[in-house]
Amino acid sequence: MHWFDYCAPKGLEEALDIFAEYGERARALAGGTDLILFMERGRLEPDLVVEIPFCPPFVGMEATNSHIRIGSRTTMRELETSSLIREKISILADAASKVGSLQIRNLATIGGNICTASPAGDTLPALLVLDASVKLVSKSGERLVPLREFFVGPGETVRQPNELLTEVIVPLPPSHSGYSFYKLSVRRYMDIAIVNAAAFVAVNENGFITDAKIALGSVAPTPIRAYEAEERLKGNSISDILLDEVGKLAQEASSPITDQRGTAEYRRIMVYRLTKRVVKEAYERAVARNQM
């Protein structure tokens, strides 16, 4: 690993001053589960590593009448075990529980998972169907970016070198809705996903779908939404024919590659099957909640 300087600012303003001065020459350190590995392999060689402060707005989770705010330094283990997350947006707790080992989840943060921008990031499809946004802050101001607009390529985002991701904002879902997430990997723990699939479904009192979101990971240069598949679901109730059509539309939205974890053809097949699975499960959960 190359030589670098390290600093630990005490608050947001001090951290923003540092990134305003250093820009691309600085890298933020939270859990470090990706950053340290990339530095060891020579993929990143920052002049300065900046420890993200353990203070607001980077830490903490809280709910309002309209949304849940999650500090970017929140760990996967905190998401996995949080009663708030499990009660309000359980799909995020489920996805966080699939990240690496327990040791990794005690370090890895939601902000790091988002900013690493891996096409296979486990929490990213869940956050996409939750319609999450991220708050980016710099010395010149702040902006709220929908997560669906945040990723531009493998490891690439719209975040500027002088900006810090401080918070993740998740709208509270309607009561008559359900979610489902599935991670396909060779081993249950540690492995990077072959395919990730997530679905959100909202229904009316008659069981017809009023809203739907489908997100996929590890099957395109970025995590993606399957918009045509979502539109096909709206206004309908679930049937085998509809699920078949939706699975095929999601398959068409994907553009997987062949790597050591699986072939492109295998990934396409699993997109079809897993989309059907998570959509059906999300629909059943929405109907069950609607009947309570």
Task: Give the torsion sign (CA, 190, 81, 218, 32).
Answer: negative
Tokens describing residue 198: 């997530």
pLDDT of residue 187: 74
pLDDT of residue 290: 77
4-13, 99-108, 115-124, 179-188: which range is least confident on average? 179-188
Residue 189 scores a pLDDT above 70: no
The pLDDT tens digits for 247-283 are 999 999 999 999 999 999 999 999 999 999 999 999 9
Rounded mean pLDDT, 91-114: 96
pLDDT band at residue 225 using 50, 70 and 90 as cut-offs: very high
d(Cα 143, Cα 140) in Å, to the nearest integer? Answer: 10
Residue 200 scores a pLDDT above 80: yes
Closest CA to 180 of 274, 97, 254, 79: 274
Residue 140 scores a pLDDT above 90: yes
The pLDDT tens digits for 229-256 are 999 999 999 999 999 999 999 999 999 9
Write the CB contacts of 137 (distance below 8 Å, at least 6 apart in sequence): 12, 16, 163, 164, 166
d(Cα 8, Cα 60) in Å, to the nearest integer? Answer: 19
Rounded mean pLDDT, 163-172: 98
Helix pair angle (264-290, 240-253), 10° resolution: 130
